[in-house]
Amino acid sequence: MNVLVVDDERRHRAGIQRLLNRLRPDWEINAAGSVEDALRLMDDWKVELLLSDIRMGELDGLTMISRVRQRNDGMRIVIISAYDSFWYAKQAIQCRVDDYLLKPVDESELEGLLQKVEGKTGNSTGFKPVVFEEESAAEKLRMKMTDYIERNYGGDVSLESMASELHFAPSYLSSFFKRQMGIGFSQYL
C-alpha cells in the first residue's frame, strides 16, 4: 500500500513514518513537509492512504484534502492532529475523512487503523465514522507524560528521552509541562 504522511513538523512526520515502517515494513511510505510538496508528490505517485496534519503553513490540511477529493474521491484519508476542537472535527466530516487521530499517535490506535485499511474488521467500509474525542489532546498528552515519568522514575527520566518517545520537541514538552502542571519539569522530578 502507498501511504503519504503530511506534516510540517519534521519530528512528527519522521516519528509517524518510523512507526508506520515498523508496523507495516512492506508498505511504501513517503512523507511531505507541506501541502504544496504533498500535492506535487501525488501528481507522480498513486497514494492509497493519506495521513495529514490539519494546521500547516499557508495551506492547511483541510484545503489539501478538499483538493485531493476533487482529484481522487476514493482515497482513504486520516487526519492526525493535536487539535480536537469541534470545529476541526466538523470540517473533517465535511471533507469526508475516514478517521481522525489525535497526537501523540498511540501505536495501538494506529495499528487498529491500519487493520481497518487492510479490511480486517468486518466493517464494510473498513473505517468507523469520525467521532469527536471526549478527552482533550492536552489531557491525553499530560497523561502520557506523567505515565512516562512513573514508568521511568529512578532511571533515565529526561525531557529529551520523554520527547523522543512521545514524538515531540523537548522545548514544546517543557513549556507544555509547565503550563499543565504549574511547575517546571526538573522541579516536578
Query: Does residue 100 carry a pLDDT above 80?
Result: yes
pTM of the model: 0.63
Q: How much is the pLDDT for 135?
A: 47
Cα 136 from chain centre:
14
Question: What digits encode the pLDDT tens for the residues 149-187?
Answer: 888 887 878 888 888 888 777 887 788 788 777 788 888
Q: Indicate if the pLDDT at residue 19 is higher than 90.
A: yes
Q: According to the model, what pLDDT value does residue 56 have?
A: 77
User: Within 10 Å of residue 15's Cβ, how many Cβ atoms?
Assistant: 21
First to last CA, the chain: 44
Averaged pLDDT for residues 22-28: 94
105: Cβ–Cβ under 8 A, 6 or more apart, which residues? 15, 16, 19, 80, 167
CA–centroid distance for 17 within its chain: 10
DSSP H/E element including 174: helix 170-181
Per-residue pLDDT reduced to its tens digit, 110-159 = 998 898 888 753 433 444 444 434 446 677 777 888 888 888 887 878 88
